[in-house]
Amino acid sequence: MLRRFLRMLLSISLTVMAAGLLSATLVRFAPGFGIDERELDPRLNVDSVREIRQSRGEGQSVILFYTRYLRNLVHGDLGKSAAFGRPVGELLRDRIPASAMAVGSGLACGWMFGLGLASMAVLWAPALDIAGSGLTALCLSAPAPVLALLFVFAGHNTGTDTAHIAFPVAAVVALVVFPRVFRYVRGILAQVSGMPHVLAAHTRGLGRLRILLTHVLTPSAPSILALAGVSVSVAFGAAIPIEVICDYPGIGQLAWKAALERDLPLLIDITLLVTIMATVSNSVAEMAGAWLSPRGASA
């Protein structure tokens, strides 16, 4: 287990560093990088325009910029946003709690609904399988931005408190996560429920709830945990256009504005943050699944 944990840390470190370098490279070679609309101001003289170009030219060399960025990162300096004129650390501290609340609530609701409906469809009411499949097809056919627009038109993105504004974001994230959870979990539970030990439990007269918890969900835990790790990345990816459309002050909206302004330091920090979140959630789910598997438990 210790060796697996060390390999996980090494994998996370290499993945995060590679993601940061790739992000810096993509932004550097994106069309329009290094162009500042302030240069079009006819009131500026040649020296002012040259100063603007020099201030924007620090990211021209990707390797030099990324090396300097990593050196500053070791000392806790995340850089300064060129678009907002504020330290990136302050921007992230202001936005992370809002995104965590909305995305976390949406993930929890999507998982509760998807797992509960899949469990009931497999063991209790097969008719719910048809209803769940129809609802899944409906959610998958409607893109996340379209769902967010429906909440905007309904007026659910208005209000003063953060919890009220976060409702449409959390609701759309739940609608994005639910169909994937339902389809995958239903297939796992349907396969496990047909195994001999589950059929033997039915013949012994055990209750369906006990069979579900002990004989179906427990053996399925490693596969379900793997899906949980992936669903975190899916939820955060869906939250970016949702937060933009709903005007929600989270990481997704910040990433959108940084992309429009080609704010290199801010984009790299957001990329590293999302990469760390995705790799850590997947690695933790993988380790937990390995520990819960019969081979891992016996070891």
Q: How confident is the model at residue 266 (pLDDT cuts 50, 70, 90)?
A: confident
Single-letter amino acid code for the residue at 65: F
Q: What percent of the chain has pLDDT over 70?
A: 85
Tell which of 14, 41, 74 closes a domain.
74
Indicate whether 155 and 47 sit together in one domain.
no
In a domain, 113, yes or no: yes
Based on the domain organization, do 150 and 15 belong to the same domain? no
Phi, psi of 87 (to 5 degrees): -60, 140
pLDDT tens for residues 113-159?
999 888 888 877 777 888 888 888 888 888 888 888 887 777 665 55
pLDDT of residue 60: 56
User: Can you give the pLDDT at residue 233?
Assistant: 85
Amino acid at 150: L
Q: Does 255 fall in a domain?
A: yes
Judgement on whether residues 69 and 96 belong to the same structural domain of the protein: no
Our count of domains for the chain comes to 2
Shared domain for 248 and 182, answered yes or no, is yes
State the distance between the two ends of the chain, measured CA to CA, in whole angstroms: 9
Query: Do 95 and 69 share a structural domain?
Result: no
Q: Which residue range(s) make up the domain with 56?
A: 2-74
Q: Does pLDDT of 167 surpass 60? A: yes
What pLDDT, on the 0 to 100 scale, is given for residue 109?
93
The answer as to whether 83 is a domain residue is no
**Residues 119, 122: Cα–Cα separation, whole Å:** 5
Predicted confidence band at 162 (pLDDT cuts at 50, 70, 90)?
low
Residues 136 and 284 occupy one common structural domain? yes
Quick check: is 261 in a domain?
Answer: yes
The structure tokens 């020296």 sit at 47
The Cα 164–Cα 183 span in angstroms is 30
263 and 294 share one domain: yes
User: Quick one: residue 215, left, alpha or beta (phi over 0 = left, psi -120 to 50 = alpha)?
Assistant: alpha
Q: 192 and 125, same structural domain?
A: yes
Extract the tokens encoding 245. Answer: 């459309």
| Best mean pLDDT range from 17-26, 76-85, 98-107 | 98-107
Q: Are residues 235 and 281 in the same domain?
A: yes
Out of 74, 101, 124, pick the residue that ends a domain: 74
The most confident of the ranges 26-40, 94-108, 285-299 is 94-108
Angle, helices 88-123 vs 162-193, to 10°: value is 40
pLDDT in tens, 181-209: 998 998 888 888 888 888 888 788 888 78
Q: What is the mean pLDDT of the chain?
A: 80
Shared domain for 134 and 203, answered yes or no, is yes
pLDDT tier at 73, thresholds 50, 70, 90: confident
pTM, to two decimals: 0.77
Looking at the domain assignment, is residue 81 inside a domain?
A: no
pLDDT at 45: 72
Quick one: pLDDT at residue 248? 86
Lowest pLDDT segment from 139-148, 198-207, 230-239, 281-290: 281-290
Structural domain contains residue 86: no
pLDDT at residue number 111? 92
CATH classification at residue 130: 1.10.3720.10
In a domain, 79, yes or no: no
| Predicted local confidence at residue 297, as pLDDT | 44
Lowest-confidence segment of 78-82, 97-101, 290-294 by average pLDDT: 290-294
Same structural domain, 128 and 258: yes
Q: Are 245 and 102 contained in the same domain?
A: yes
Domain boundary among 74, 107, 125: 74
Amino acid identity at 66: Y
Mean pLDDT across 273-297? 74
Place of tokens 């020099």: 54
80: which strand partners? Answer: 87
- Of 47, 49, 23, 19, nearest to 36 (Cα)? 49
Q: How many residues does the chain have?
A: 299
In this prediction, residue 298 has a pLDDT band, given cuts at 50, 70 and 90, of very low
The residues, any chain, with a CB within 8 Å of residue 150's CB and separated by 6 or more, are none
What are the residues facing 87 on neighbouring strands? 80
pLDDT-derived band of residue 299, with 50, 70 and 90 as boundaries? very low
What does the pLDDT read at residue 108?
Answer: 92
Phi/psi class of residue 284: alpha, beta or left (left: φ > 0; alpha: ψ in -120 to 50)? Answer: alpha
Is 210 part of any domain? yes
Q: For the chain, how big is the Rg over CA atoms in Å? A: 24
